[in-house]
């Protein structure tokens, strides 16, 4: 694996890992706001990120504090009535009990008109889900994470909820109603992963084309193989490949143009040696 391929592999791994980290969000009155990276002053952060869209909600201090506490603890937050929350909770229980999906809710709670929850679309809640690879499920095993199929601690006390969820693995859901700003992290992840894969599969298209053209001659391939063992003069190479010195020099010039070999001239000596360049060595290793 050459340097470009190694870089590509690292970028691909980074892209996949980033894709597995789904940000929590806040949904109020049909508006969805990403809570990516917010832990301190939620109101200031939302005003900075969303401006009028957030300010027009006219949330009071108590509501903002409730959302702040939930978000800081890794929850996604959705505004709803108690009746809506009961239906939401029932749906979550049904989802957890559904063995045909790896989706799972955990740590659902309700306070001050807001439901807070964590959602893992790729959990290991059953043997089938658990048998999938971590990359496929986009989960990172945690010794602190406990997931019991069908069980949801449904709590309607904010303080109890925060204590109950301390130390657990954070999972959050992002629904389909994303704003353009929320899609930026996903676009960046896709670009990083795609670029990494491109470097692994085809590190440099022009690079490969140059090598292909330069090594299109059997004589040049023979010269490269001889130079892979040690530096040689055109005379030495002529003897080894059974070609005239003029023919060998012509082929060496083509290899120099492709940056596969280089000429070594030593001051005070009449002999000229040729050796493989780093690019030439990579080409021989890949051959």
Average pLDDT over residues 240-245: 93
For every residue of 9-68, DSSP letters joined together read HHHHHHHHHHHT-PPPEEEETTEEEE-TT--S-HHHHHHHHHTHHHHTT---HHHHHHHH
Domain with CATH 1.10.10.10 in the chain: 205-286
Band the pLDDT of 115: cuts 50, 70, 90.
very high
pLDDT at 177: 39
**What is the C-alpha separation between 104 and 145, in angstroms, rounded?**
13
Q: Please state which of the ranges 38-42, 85-89, 155-159 shows the lowest mean pLDDT.
A: 155-159
pLDDT at 20: 53
For residue 88, pLDDT beyond 90: yes
Q: What percent of the chain has pLDDT over 90?
A: 32
pLDDT at 2: 54
pLDDT at 253: 92
Closest-CA residue to 274 (of 244, 247, 253)? 253
pLDDT at 17: 53
Assigned fold of 205-286: Arc Repressor Mutant, subunit A (1.10.10)
Average pLDDT over residues 56-66: 92
Instruction: Tell me which of 162 and 2 has the higher pLDDT.
Output: 2
- Per the prediction, the chain carries an average pLDDT of 74
pLDDT digits (tens, 9 = 90+) for 157-216: 444 444 333 333 333 333 333 344 445 555 655 666 666 666 555 555 445 666 778 888
pLDDT at 190: 63
For every residue of the chain, DSSP letters joined together read --HHHHHHHHHHHHHHHHHT-PPPEEEETTEEEE-TT--S-HHHHHHHHHTHHHHTT---HHHHHHHHHHHHTT-EEEE--HHHHHHHHHHHHHHHH-TT---EEEEEEEETTEEEEEEETT---SHHHHHS-HHHHT----TT----TT----B--HHHHHHHTTTPPP-----S---HHHHHHHHHHHHHHHHHHHHHH-S-HHHHHHHHHHTTSHHHHHHHHHHHHS-B-HHHHHHHHT--HHHHHHHHHHHHHTTSEEEEE-TT---EEEEE-HHHHHHHHH-
Closest-CA residue to 1 (of 280, 197, 203, 225)? 203
For residue 150, pLDDT beyond 50: no
Band the pLDDT of 286: cuts 50, 70, 90.
confident
Phi and psi based region of residue 242 (left: phi greater than 0; alpha: psi -120 to 50; beta: remaining): left
Band the pLDDT of 287: cuts 50, 70, 90.
low
For residue 112, pLDDT beyond 70: yes
Q: What percent of the chain has pLDDT over 70?
A: 63
**Matching residue, tokens 């893992």:** 120
């Amino acid at each position: 694996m050459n340097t470009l391929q190694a870089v590509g592999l690292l970028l691909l791994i980074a892209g996949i890992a980033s894709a597995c980290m789904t940000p929590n969000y806040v949904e109020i009155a049909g508006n969805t706001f990403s809570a990516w990276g917010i832990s301190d002053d939620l109101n200031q952060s939302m005003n900075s990120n969303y401006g009028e869209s957030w300010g027009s909600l006219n949330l009071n201090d108590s509501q903002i504090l409730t959302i702040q506490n939930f978000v800081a603890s890794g929850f996604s937050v959705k505004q709803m009535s108690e009746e809506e929350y009961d239906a939401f909770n029932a749906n979550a229980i049904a989802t957890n009990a559904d063995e045909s999906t790896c989706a799972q809710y955990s740590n659902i709670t309700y306070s001050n008109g807001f439901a807070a929850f964590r959602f893992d679309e790729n959990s290991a809640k059953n043997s089938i889900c658990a048998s999938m690879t971590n990359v496929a499920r986009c989960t990172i095993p945690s010794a602190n994470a406990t997931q019991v199929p069908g069980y949801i601690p449904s709590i309607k006390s904010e303080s109890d909820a925060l204590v109950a969820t301390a130390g657990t693995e954070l999972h959050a859901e992002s629904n389909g109603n994303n704003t353009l700003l929320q899609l930026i992290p996903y676009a960046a992840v896709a670009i990083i992963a795609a670029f990494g894969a491109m470097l692994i599969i085809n590190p440099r298209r022009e690079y490969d084309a140059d090598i292909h053209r330069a090594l299109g001659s059997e004589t040049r391939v023979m010269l490269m193989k001889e130079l892979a063992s040690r530096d040689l003069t055109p005379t030495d190479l002529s003897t080894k490949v059974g070609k005239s010195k003029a023919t060998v020099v012509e082929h060496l010039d083509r290899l120099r143009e492709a940056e596969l070999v280089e000429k070594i001239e030593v001051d005070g000596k009449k002999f000229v040696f040729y050796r493989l360049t780093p690019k030439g060595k990579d080409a021989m290793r890949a051959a």
